[in-house]
Amino acid sequence: MNEQFKKLSLMAGGSHYPSINSDLQQQFGELIVQECVEVLLKWKGEPFPFDENLAASLIKEHFGIK
């Protein structure tokens, strides 16, 4: 599993030990990253400059996080 995914899994209460679900965790992480990319790419052609705060709020809104 990707080191960053391992770190986040531990932050979410996961274990240091490899589990039967490590492939599932890797796939889950990859899907989340892909969702974030797709949210940002929807705004690629807009005429306004990139704004980090807007990007963050779009991703949070997409996942229902306040």
56-61 mean pLDDT: 92
- 62: phi > 0 → left, psi -120 to 50 → alpha, else beta; which? alpha
CA distances to 36, 39, 46, 49, 59 from 54, in Å = 13, 11, 13, 10, 9
Instruction: Give residue 16's pLDDT.
Output: 67
CA 32 to chain centre: 4
Residue ranges per domain, the chain?
3-63
Closest CA to 28 of 51, 56, 43, 8: 8
Instruction: Give residue 42's pLDDT.
Output: 86
pLDDT digits (tens, 9 = 90+) for 12-49: 887 766 666 777 778 888 899 999 999 988 888 877 77
pLDDT band for position 61 (cuts 50, 70, 90): very high
User: Which position has the token pair 């929807």?
Assistant: 42
Instruction: Give residue 19's pLDDT.
Output: 65
